[in-house]
Amino acid sequence: MTRHIRWAACVPLLPSTTAAAHVLSDADRATLSFGWSLEPWVVALLALSIGAYLIGYARLRRRSRAQRRGVGARTQHLLAFAGGWSALLVALISPLDTLSGALFSAHMVQHESMMLIAAPLCVAGRPLAVWMWALPRGARLALGRLVRARWFAGTWRCLSAPLVAWALHAVALWAWHAPTLFEAALAHPAVHALQHASFLLSALIFWWTVTGDGARRGNGGHAMLSLFTTMVHTSALGALITLAPDLWYPSYVEPCAALGIDPLHDQQLGGLIMWVPGAMAYLVGGLLVAARWLSRADRQPAFTHDAARAREEGAP
């Protein structure tokens, strides 16, 4: 996505100082505008993803109705995926995307929306299986054989191991917020696309291990540990950005000045967004995982007791 707004076409040349933020006239500020970021390849991917999901969902729903089971779960998955897809739509092509080229705080809202709203909701929608059902039968069978291949299954098990998923997510967060890499993403659209892909893909794998099928295969302990430690280290990163005495990302000086905003205050607000709301999202995720784990633990003794009683009564 094209990150830079052509500020030279919007306002007169400004000195790169925070003092200039307070000398713009109302006419200068009125010329600034933020529209939708309609990058063709981003729009195409979003349209393809929702279109394929709806086709796969319709086929699976017909199948579930024929078998008279699973219809309610399919609907819940659809709603979850629609919510995650909508969050991606807002983050990637709405005016939030163009505004994030001017304000670091808006950039943080964009990133947090992708990682803490879109990613877990998309995982809850279980899109991979649904997308497969959007394919023709022959392609679906071929893809199924590929997924079951030993090399593919081994690679996926490695990437989705709890520690690996946690580390990938942590490295993506800390590395891309280093000033050098962050500034490179602001300057080069290809690097910025790689940044967003890293955030989204690592978040999808992370949330799969803590809330998706990866968590269901475990006892829930690793999921809560992953969420808690991620909350701690993302809070630490947010605190470092918030409390930094100097600017980390000088590319925001001129656009902040054009908007009449102190760039250091904008940076502090961006760090605070990562620090507090971001930490709360991981905390809520941990509480939900704990609640699901405890509810399963409560049901397990009753199930065991019923099974033992059935064996005593001679049930098959």
In this prediction, residues 203-213 reach a mean pLDDT of 87
pLDDT of res. 216: 56
316 within a domain of the structure (yes/no): no
Q: How far apart are CA 198 and CA 203, in angstroms?
A: 8
Does 16 reside within a domain?
A: no
How far apart are the two ends of the chain, measured CA to CA in Å?
A: 61
Question: CA angle at residue 266 from 263 to 267, to 5 degrees?
Answer: 90
Residue-wise pLDDT for 32-90, tens only, equals 667 888 889 999 999 999 999 999 999 888 877 666 666 678 889 999 999 999 999 99
Question: Does any domain span residue 4?
Answer: no
- Predicted confidence band of residue 307 (pLDDT cuts 50, 70, 90): very low
d(CA 17, CA 15): 6
Can you tell me which residue has the tokens 């098990």?
157
Q: Looking at the domain assignment, is residue 17 inside a domain?
A: no
List the alpha helices (DSSP H) in 20-161: 26-30, 40-67, 71-93, 95-99, 104-112, 119-124, 127-133, 137-148, 150-159
pTM score, whole prediction: 0.81
User: Is 271 among the domain residues?
Assistant: yes
Q: Answer yes or no: is 22 within a domain.
A: no
- State how far the Cα of 259 lies from the Cα of 18, in Å rounded to an integer: 11
Tell me, yes or no, whether 1 lies in a domain. no
Which range of residues forms the domain containing residue 220?
Answer: 35-308
Domains identified in the chain, total number = 1
**Residue 23 is encoded by which pair of tokens?**
């000398």
Q: Is residue 10 included in any domain, yes or no?
A: no
Whether 299 has a pLDDT exceeding 70, the answer reads no
